[in-house]
C-alpha cells in the first residue's frame, strides 16, 4: 500500500511540482471566488475528468 | 501492477510488447471503462429519480464537497484509511482459455472496469461518486473513458519508449516510481479544488 509524502516533505523537482500545483489551485479558487461560480458544473467536471486520468495512472502502483 | 502489465498487456514476460497486444489491451480497457460508466450512470439516474428529485440538491453537493476535501487530505498522505477494494486478480489461465489476443482484451476490459482490482487512491472513488451523483449518462461514460485513458497512457508510453530503445521495460520501473508522489499530490490538489468549488457554490446559493 502506498504512503504518499506530504507536500511539505517533498523536495527538489517534486517540491517544485507540488508548489506549482498548489499555486494553480489557489489561483483557480481565487478566480472562482472573485468571478462568481456561475460555471461551477463545467469547472468541477473538468476537475473530475483530470482526476479520472490521475486515478487511472495511479493503478500503476497498485499491488 | 507495473510488473504485471509491462511487458505490455500480455503478462507473459515478453520484453518487446507487440503492437497487437497493446491495441487489444487498449480496446479492452476502453470497453471495460465504457461498461463501468454505463453501469454507474444507470445507477445514478435511478437513484436521482427515486431519492434526489431528479438532481443533486444543495446538501448533497455540500456533502460531496466535504468528502472531496477529506479525501484530498488522504491523497496527499495527511492521514490514512483503508479503501474498499477487491483483491481478485485476473486469472493467468484466461490467456490459455481465450487465446493470447482475446485474453489480453479480457484482461484490459476487466481492469478498465475499475472495480476488480486493488484500488490505491481516493480519486477513483471521487470519480465514481461524481458519476453516480452528478453526471448525466454521456458525461459519466466520458469520465469513465478518461479513467481508462489514464490507465492505458503509461502502458502506451512505455511500449513506445521500449520499442525504440535497448532497455527492458522493467528497467523503467524505478523511474516510474519517482513520479508516484507527483501524481498523488496533483490528484490531491485537484480533489481539494473541486471540493472547495462545491462548498463555495453551496454557500453562495
Q: What is the residue-wise DSSP string for B150-170?
A: HHHHHHHHHHHHHHTSSS-GG
The pLDDT > 90 percentage for chain B reads 25
Report which DSSP code applies to B88: -
What residues make up the domain containing A22? Answer: 9-61
Q: What is the pLDDT of residues B167-187, one digit of tens each?
A: 777 777 777 887 888 888 889
Whether A3 maps to a domain, the answer reads no
| Whole-number Å distance between alpha carbons of B142 and B87 | 26
| Whole-number Å distance between alpha carbons of B68 and B52 | 20
Nearest CA in chain B to A5: B77
User: Chains A, B: CB contacts under 8 A, how many?
Assistant: 159
Nearest CA in chain A to B122: A55
First and final C-alpha spacing in chain B:
44
Q: What is the pLDDT of residues B126-170, one digit of tens each?
A: 999 999 998 888 999 999 999 999 999 988 888 888 878 877 777
User: Given a cut of 50, is residue A58 above it in pLDDT?
Assistant: yes
Instruction: Read off the pTM.
Output: 0.81
Does the distance separating the beta carbons of B117 and A58 come in below 8 Å?
Answer: no
| Whole-number Å distance between alpha carbons of B181 and B107 | 27
CA distance A9 to chain B (A): 10
Instruction: Calculate mean pLDDT across residues B30-45.
Output: 94
| Whole-number Å distance between alpha carbons of B76 and B186 | 9
Grid cell of A13 as nine digits: 523537482
List chain B residues with CB under 8 Å of A49.
142-143, 146
Does the distance separating the beta carbons of A52 and B118 come in below 8 Å?
Answer: no
Whether A15 maps to a domain, the answer reads yes
CA distance B4 to chain A (A): 9
Of B1, B78, B194, the CB nearest to A61: B1
CA B59 to chain centre: 27
CA distance B87 to chain A (A): 9
Of B139, B150, B177, the CB nearest to A55: B150
Q: What is the pLDDT of residues B67-91, one digit of tens each?
A: 998 998 888 888 888 888 887 777 7
Whether A39 maps to a domain, the answer reads yes
Whether A4 maps to a domain, the answer reads no
Whether A16 maps to a domain, the answer reads yes
**Number of domains, chain A:** 1
Whether A48 maps to a domain, the answer reads yes
Whether A1 maps to a domain, the answer reads no
| Chain B contact for A19 (CB, 8 A cutoff) | no
pLDDT for residue B141: 94
Mind spelling out the 3-state secondary structure of chain A? CCCCCCHHHCCHHHHHHHHHHHHHHHHHHHHHHHHCCCCHHHHHHHHHHHHHHHHHHHHHHCC
Q: At a CB cut-off of 8 Å and minimum separation 6, what does B135 contact?
A: A45, B41, B44, B143
Grid cell of B46 as nine digits: 435511478
pLDDT for residue B197: 84
Whether A2 maps to a domain, the answer reads no
User: Given a cut of 50, is residue B12 above it in pLDDT?
Assistant: no
Residues found in chain A: 63
Q: What is the pLDDT of residues B49-64, one digit of tens each?
A: 887 776 677 888 889 9
Give the dihedral sign, CA A53/B115/B67/B72.
Answer: negative
Grid cell of B197 as nine digits: 468549488
- Higher-pLDDT residue of B201 and B2 is B201
The DSSP result for B117-131, as a single string, is: S----HHHHHHHHHH
Amino acid at each position: 500500500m502506498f504512503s504518499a509524502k506530504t507536500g511539505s516533505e517533498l523536495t527538489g523537482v517534486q517540491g517544485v511540482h507540488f508548489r506549482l500545483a498548489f499555486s494553480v489551485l489557489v489561483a483557480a479558487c481565487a478566480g472562482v471566488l472573485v468571478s462568481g461560480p456561475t460555471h461551477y458544473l463545467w469547472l468541477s467536471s473538468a476537475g473530475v475528468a483530470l482526476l479520472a486520468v490521475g486515478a487511472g495512472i495511479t493503478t500503476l502502483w497498485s499491488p | 501492477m507495473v510488473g504485471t502489465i509491462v511487458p505490455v498487456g500480455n503478462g507473459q514476460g515478453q520484453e518487446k510488447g507487440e503492437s497487437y497486444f497493446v491495441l487489444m489491451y487498449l480496446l479492452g480497457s476502453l470497453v471495460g471503462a465504457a461498461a463501468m460508466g454505463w453501469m454507474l450512470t444507470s445507477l445514478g439516474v435511478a437513484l436521482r429519480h427515486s431519492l434526489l428529485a431528479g438532481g443533486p440538491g444543495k446538501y448533497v453537493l455540500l456533502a460531496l464537497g466535504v468528502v472531496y476535501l477529506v479525501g484530498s487530505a488522504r491523497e496527499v498522505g495527511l492521514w490514512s484509511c483503508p479503501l474498499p477494494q477487491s483483491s481478485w486478480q485476473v486469472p493467468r489461465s484466461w490467456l490459455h482459455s481465450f487465446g493470447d489476443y482475446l485474453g489480453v482484451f479480457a484482461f484490459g476490459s476487466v481492469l478498465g472496469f475499475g472495480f476488480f482490482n486493488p484500488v490505491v487512491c481516493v480519486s477513483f472513488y471521487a470519480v465514481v461518486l461524481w458519476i453516480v451523483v452528478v453526471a448525466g449518462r454521456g458525461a459519466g461514460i466520458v469520465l469513465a473513458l478518461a479513467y481508462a485513458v489514464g490507465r492505458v497512457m503509461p502502458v502506451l508510453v512505455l511500449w513506445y519508449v521500449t520499442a525504440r530503445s535497448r532497455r527492458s521495460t522493467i528497467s523503467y520501473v524505478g523511474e516510474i516510481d519517482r513520479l508516484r508522489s507527483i501524481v498523488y499530490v496533483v490528484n490531491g490538489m485537484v480533489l481539494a479544488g473541486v471540493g472547495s468549488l462545491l462548498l463555495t457554490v453551496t454557500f453562495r446559493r
